[in-house]
Structure 1
């Protein structure tokens, strides 16, 4: 099975995020090594945006998780699990590190799906809804914390996430979703908000 990796910039709300899109286990190992190197001083309290995507199913049988998105700072990984040559042990260790906090809305559901579909466990999840409720008591989570204008077109959200070649819209959606989760989690967990 041929694996592909490409790196593309994704612009969002004045930020430029570097998205690594891959089905290569080796590229995932390289991305993780880059995170360890770039954030070595924060490894005892690293915050990671986490999300997963799968092709929607219109029957009782759920499709397997197709994508894993991880974001730390301006570095986003979009790992095409269904097309991967292998799932690296380095990824399993990264996700299972109890010092790291993996954040998203409904992140435990995503972690459960990842475990069920790919036998990969996430050690420490923090649901952004709960964090926001504890700190803010605000229902409009994304806008209240970040002021983000996050558009989630239905045709992309409900699209073919299991495709071997993702569209630019899918890449942007997947990257921005993980980045916004990271940024909101960072602000809520560090108290860096207005």
Structure 2
């Protein structure tokens, strides 16, 4: 029998603007500041602030670690065999700051975000990172220079999300 560890999660809207929403999210004892937007200018500001806050680590040998997630909406009609739905959101987290960029609603992807993803000094860590990177490049022309598989990083081989959660 596997023991299930329960973590308390709470979310509070901090600020709602026309171009974005800011949330305070608490996961256990950790507090995250999450910006949700489809506005390229807000995403641009988030990337610039992140680069400024982590400039020292970017200059170091190790660079910075960025948590990455890609989500898509299942299609409402049948797709061709082998076709995949377009990524709708790109989620990035560095330290306690996160960006949820709504690709499906954005008019454009800012150049600074494209450069950030293509910067080999940043390691973008995700579950199924190869698939995420491929979808981002195929559908949005976004190249991720250094994608790191979360399962490899944690020594979990080909583990499922459920198995990884039970180990934490």
Q: Same fold (TM over 0.5)?
A: yes
Report which of the two structures shows the higher radius of gyration computed on alpha carbons: 2
Task: Extract unaligned runs of 5+ from structure 2.
Answer: 1-17
| Count of residue pairs brought into register by the alignment | 141
Partner of 2:164: 141
Query: How far did residue 60 of structure 1 move?
Result: 3.2
Conserved 8 A contact 1:92-1:120: yes
- Which has the bigger relative contact order, CA under 8 A and spacing at least 6? 1
1:103 pairs with 2:125: yes
Partner of 2:44: 29
- Superposed CA RMSD in Å reads 1.9
Map 1:4-83 → 2, pairs under 5 A = 4-44=19-59, 45-57=63-75, 59-61=78-80, 62-83=84-105
Q: TM-score, normalised by structure 2?
A: 0.77
Q: Report which of the two has the higher share of helix.
A: 1
Task: Extract unaligned runs of 5+ from structure 1.
Answer: 148-194
Q: TM-score, normalised by structure 1?
A: 0.67
Moved over 6 A (4+): none
